Homo-oligomer: A and B are copies of this chain.
Amino acid sequence: MKANQIVLPLEELPKNWYNIAPDLPEQLPPPKEPEGGPSRMEFLGETMIHECLKQEASLDRWIPIPEGIRELYIQAGRPRPLYRARRLENHLGLKKARLYYKREDLSPTGSHKVNTALAQAYFAAEEGKTTLVTETGAGQWGSALSYAARLMGLQCRVFWVRAVYEWKSDRRTFMKMLGATVHASPSKETEVGQQFLRKNPKHQGSLGIAVSEGLEKANLEEDSVYCLGSVLNHVLIQQSIIGLETIEQFKRVDDEPDLIVGCLGGGSNFGGIALPFAGEVLKGKRECSFLAAQSEAAPNLVKGEYRYDFGDVAEKTPLLKMYTLGHRTEMVPIRADGLRYHAAAPLISTLRNQGLVKAVAYPADERLVMEAARIFFQNEGWLIAPESSYAVRAGIDEALKAEKASQEKVICMNISGHGFLDIEAYRDKLNIE
């Protein structure tokens, strides 16, 4: 029997996260204070989770996953299966290329974001905090944090860009059903929100305003902490569970990937699957390439500059050395909203700078990527998130290229989330009635 599903027994759920920092050929450029204004580091030191800040600067290669978090991971359905995409291979007529995919779409909130959300909620509770505060754009991060907070018995407060809050009624209900307090931003909850509302009571909001509101609230309330869902080192460390499982799963089928493909906005799912493999490449233990699939709406790795920039529009973060389009760049709306971010995580950016990570950007009309999602759905049977469709598009393109060159190639794609809450995007982009 050909079993396309490759599982990992519960007992083999990794016991440590992987931190690539000590294995980098050059030290990761540290965060910097901007000239003028208050100290961003001090501010974040007061508003964020201490254990996360510790991981942020850690040079330990292996960071133990507390047993409590491992239990939460198992509750959330980990380890997640790796699949051999034999059905897709047959459809594409591949003889030389082999395709695999990792199933983060099986997440309880529909995306890989729970991997870090659970860790952050656990550490916040350990530090005696009672409330997690964050902002959300597309809604995946807000959903994941609402879920994690509830499982740890914490409150969750989400500031959500008003335009999206009003439109995505299902995600809104999802968060509220979990007990989260979800504010349309700008809101009356904060000084900064009130300022914007005075100017325009129907202000549609922006991610920058939502970040500012969340930080203000988290900073004012003693028992609150601010949580971030991408870009930062500790997020990528906590996401490394994806790649660590995948390494073990490849061993079980006695195969090895030549190329890891993931979609990339800020870099958390891409880093999650890629960095454990990249670490082994850097140590000379394996050969493997890495490809980030982006949108031309936000091609930070493809067209960005490698320089210090703010992580947010509101300039509340320290300066981070990243491939960036500029933190005030306006980006056209796309359905894969999770990919609309101006810069790539520092850890990914340094690897890009060293030539280990490559990137490709697909047109912002998204027809090519959505078509890849349909092909994947019709052959593998899983409806994936619009964001994940970029990874699948790139995976298919690379497989066809290898095939044309009669080159044997093993490609592993990361499926960052499911598409059950994004069906309208497919209806629209694929012209389905």
Contact = CB atoms under 8 A, between A and B. Distances in A.
Interface stretch (A92-100, A173-181, A243-251, A312-320): A173-181
Contacts of A67: 1
A5 B75 contact: yes
Contacts of A364: none
A108 B381 contact: yes
Interface in A413-433: 418, 420-421, 423-424, 426-427, 430, 432-433
A5 B10 contact: yes
A383 interface: yes
A331 interface: no
B383 A177 contact: yes
Given A1-B67, A77-B5, A151 B430 contact: no
Given A10-B7, A67-B1, A177 B433 contact: no
Contacts of A108: 381-383
Contacts of A424: 169-170, 173
Contact of A75 (B87, B426, B427): B87
Given A71-B3, A173-B432, A150 B378 contact: yes
A3 B380 CA distance: 29
A75 B423 contact: no
B423 A173 contact: yes
Interface in A20-79: 67, 70-71, 74-77
Interface string A1-22: 1111101011000000000000
A110 interface: yes
Contact of A427 (B70, B77, B173): B173
A53 B295 CA distance: 51
Nearest to A7: B10
User: Which range contains the number of A residues in contact with the other chain?
Assistant: 35 or more
A110 B381 CA distance: 12
B1 A71 contact: yes
B5 A74 contact: yes
Interface in A102-123: 106, 108, 110
A15 to B, nearest CB: 10
A380 B7 CA distance: 22
A151 B381 contact: yes
Nearest to A72: B381
Contacts of A151: 87, 379, 381
B432 A177 contact: yes
Contact of A423 (B5, B170, B179, B379): B170
A304 B169 CA distance: 39
Contacts of A160: none
Contact of A420 (B110, B426, B430, B433): B110
6 closest A-B pairs (Cβ-Cβ)?
A: A420-B420, A170-B423, A173-B427, A108-B381, A176-B432, A5-B74
Contacts of A430: 177
A143 B5 CA distance: 22
A10 to B, nearest CB: 5
